[in-house]
Amino acid sequence: MNVFEHLQQHDYGEVHFARDAATGLQAIVAIHDTRLGPALGGCRFIHYPHEELALIDALRLARGMTYKAAITGIPHGGGKSVIIRPPRAFDRGALFRAFGRFVDGLGGRYITAEDSGTSMEDMETIRSVTKHVTGVKPEHGGSGDPSPYTALGVRRGIEACVKFVYKRDSIEGLHVAVQGVGHVGYWLCKQLHDLGAKLTVADIDPLKAERAHRELGAEVVPLDQIFSVDCEVFAPCALGSALNDDSIPKLKCKIVAGAANNQLAETRHGDALMHRGILYAPDYAINAGGLVNVAQEHAGYDEQKSRERVLKIYDTILEIAERAERAMQPTYRIADTIVEEKLARAAR
């Protein structure tokens, strides 16, 4: 594994590794950029077949957090952490306390939060050993589960896309296909359902898909069929790289707008979507609601102020779509340009 080659490829930055023999902790903290403030980003706790995949995941996600923070105007840089899930039995509390000590040793350069495989309870455990954590319980000055706010931002981004493509202010009656109905995907489906949208869903966990069917009337299809659903909006809300050489030709929609990180397997897939006449809402711009919400904790949490900032994702997505149309450029490139302009100004 050539670590420095990966760092150069993702324009880094710094990376920290930790191992704790007593708990089985193997963790990576990637700090991509701190020009706008301390790095903020979630902690992912999943199984990785080998260490290089864990590093690449951390690097890609942290870079996305830099761009996500910059495009929403919050005073933070981008960071991400991954804990490689131990293959054998382990003490979860001890493991996350060890991780919290690792984060604390970075002296505030990185602030952690909830992500795939972690929960608010894990953040509470981390909080017992460091103050550099967000997404804790409201009684401890936190904002709680960020998923509803991420979903709110995605829903507003979808509404902006619908306004741009269909010249409509309402999504009532529109068909949305949602890939992944976990924490964020479920909350997104609930909001879309309440606004009168028709839903088709798929999830690797049949119980989660069944919940969406039972509670929201969503049609359930197998995972390999969700890309082929004839709909207005396709919402990728599972893990990354959903938009690739295999899936893009199957799409039967005019809009791709969802909550997943790193939706494009490669940047050229953003060009492929544009060439097919599909409006793509750049992932880090549309799914920033959770980050916006937890970032408020360090300034003294104000729920109303947080909600107002999340709602502005509508304006961000609409601006990106309009600029992309004028420049005849893919939306991901326009979003990157907006961010790079902000980072350049911060570096002066």
Q: 132 a known binding residue?
A: no
Q: Of 80, 198, 208, 254, which is the active-site residue?
A: 80
Half-sphere exposure of 58 (CA within 13 A, CB side): 34
Helix and strand totals (H; E) in the chain: 13, 12
In sequence order, what are the beta bridge partners of 202? 179
| Nearest alpha-carbon partner for 280 in 306, 304, 256, 252 | 256
Cα separation, 348 vs 341, in Å, equals 11
Q: 180 a known binding residue?
A: yes
Classify the C-alpha dihedral 269-253-284-167 as positive or negative. positive
The tokens of 95 are what? Answer: 């493991």
Cα separation, 280 vs 264, in Å, equals 10
Decide: 28 and 115 in contact? Cβ < 8 Å.
no
Cα separation, 301 vs 333, in Å, equals 33
Q: Is 190 a catalytic residue?
A: no
The tokens of 254 are what? Answer: 């005019």
Decide: 58 and 30 in contact? Cβ < 8 Å.
yes
Q: 42 a known binding residue?
A: no
The residue type of 255 is I
Decide: 58 and 17 in contact? Cβ < 8 Å.
no
State the DSSP code for 113: -
Q: Give the N- to C-terminal CA distance of the chain in Å, as an integer.
A: 35
Helical ranges in 170-239 per DSSP H: 183-194, 206-216
Cα separation, 150 vs 175, in Å, equals 20
Query: Can you tell me which residue has the tokens 């549309």?
Result: 286
| Nearest alpha-carbon partner for 288 in 131, 127, 113 | 113
Q: 181 a known binding residue?
A: yes
Q: 135 a known binding residue?
A: no
The binding site consists of: 180-185
Active site residues: 80
Annotated binding site for NAD(+): 180-185
